[in-house]
Amino acid sequence: MGARDPGEIVVQEFFHMDGYAFYVWGSYAIVSAVLLLNVISIRLQRRKILRELAELSEEE
């Protein structure tokens, strides 16, 4: 094994989270996923409503 770059060790420690990586990163992953899904679903909903409204005004 060659000498390792100290920056690499810091990065590894960051992802390792003192052995609690599953719990810490799991929490952050789930929170990010739910918060983002909320935003995406609103965007899709808005696009759908605007399309429906456009169709509605064409009919008239």
Partner 1 sequence: MHFIHKYGSPNYFYQWSGTWLKILSALTLILMALGLYWALIISPPDYQQSETVRIMYIHVPSAWMSMFTYVVMASAGVVAMIWRIKVAEIVVAQSAIIGASFTLLALVTGMLWGKPMWGAYWVWDARLTSELVLLFLYVGVLAIYSAYEDPRTGAKAASILAIVGVINIPIIHYSVEWWNTLHQGPTVTKFDSPSAPLSMLTPLFIMFFAFKTYFFALLFARTRNALLSRERHTSWVQEILEK
Q: What does the binding site for partner 1 look like in residue numbers (CB under 8 A)?
A: 14, 17-18, 20, 23-24, 26-28, 30-31, 34-35, 38-39, 42, 45-46, 49-50, 52-54, 56-57
Contact 17, 25 (CB under 8 A): yes
Contact 24, 17 (CB under 8 A): yes
Residue of 24, 29, 2, 26 lying closest to 13 (CA atoms): 24
Least Å from the CB of residue 59 to partner 1: 12
Least Å from the CB of residue 2 to partner 1: 27
Least Å from the CB of residue 55 to partner 1: 11
